[in-house]
Amino acid sequence: MISVAADGAVRFVFFRKGVQNVSVAGTFNGWRPGDVKMCPAGNGWWEVEAHLPPGEHRFRYVADDQWFADYAAHGVELGKNGWDSILVVRKGAATLPAAPAGVSVDLPVVRPTAAVAAVA
């Protein structure tokens, strides 16, 4: 799962029990596993927050050298090595003012229908 805050921070959350290392690899880091390492959050959950430039990015999770798409991302598409997840960081996200305390600033997550995902 992903969420994108108004300040451009992207929170990646992944579930995989029994693994030792999880990272995020994508177009934003040259698809290099291990560059964006996730931290265990307990009970099989892993998470990390990263600031990415505005634009459309492709990514996957890498857990103990196995690659996984995030079907709850902003979309998925079939790449040359399997399904890639799509992440959109909106332009100007980093220039938005901070929200008042207690107000959520997460942008809405758009999940494609099965028919759209199959076409992508």
Residue with tokens 């996957």: 60
The whole-angstrom separation of Cα 43 and Cα 89 is 29
How do residues 68-108 score in pLDDT, each as one tens digit? 999 999 999 999 999 999 999 987 654 334 444 544 444 33
Q: Is the pTM for the entire model greater than 0.85? A: no
DSSP state, residue 115: H
Segments forming the whole domain that contains residue 95: 2-119
Q: Looking at the 3D structure of the chain, how many domains does it have?
A: 1
21-40 residue pLDDT tens: 999 999 999 999 999 999 99
CATH at residue 112? 2.60.40.10
**Helix/strand/coil percentages in the chain, nearest 5:** 10, 45, 45
